[in-house]
Amino acid sequence: MTYFWLKAGHVIFVIFWMAGLFMLPRFFVYHQEDGPPGSEEDARWIEREQRLLKIILLPSMVIVWLLGLSLAFAADTWMQGWFHAKLFFVLLLSGYHGWMAAYAKKLARGERSLEGRKLRLLNEVPGVAAAVIVILAIVKPF
| Binding region for ligand HEM (CB under 6 A) out of 33-41, 50-58, 71-79, 115-123 | 71-79
- Pick from 4, 40, 113, 138 the residue near ligand HEM by CB under 6 A: 138
Radius of gyration in angstroms for the set of CA atoms belonging to the chain, rounded to a whole number: 17
Q: Which is nearer to ligand HEM, 69 or 121 (CB)?
A: 69
| Binding region for ligand HEM (CB under 6 A) out of 29-37, 70-78, 97-105, 109-117 | 70-78
Interface of this chain with ligand HEM, residues 80 to 99, rule: CB under 6 A: 90, 93
Least Cβ distance, residue 70 to ligand HEM (angstroms):
8
For the chain, give the secondary structure using H, E and C: CHHHHHHHHHHHHHHHHHHHHHHHHHHHHHHHHHCCCCCHHHHHHHHHHHHHHHHHHHHHHHHHHHHHHHHHHHHCCCCCHHHHHHHHHHHHHHHHHHHHHHHHHHHHCCCCCCCHHHHHHHCHHHHHHHHHHHHHHHHCCC
Q: Which is nearer to ligand HEM, 108 or 132 (CB)?
A: 132
Binding site for ligand HEM (CB under 6 A): 7, 10-11, 14, 18, 64-65, 68-69, 71-72, 75, 77, 90, 93, 130, 133-134, 137-138
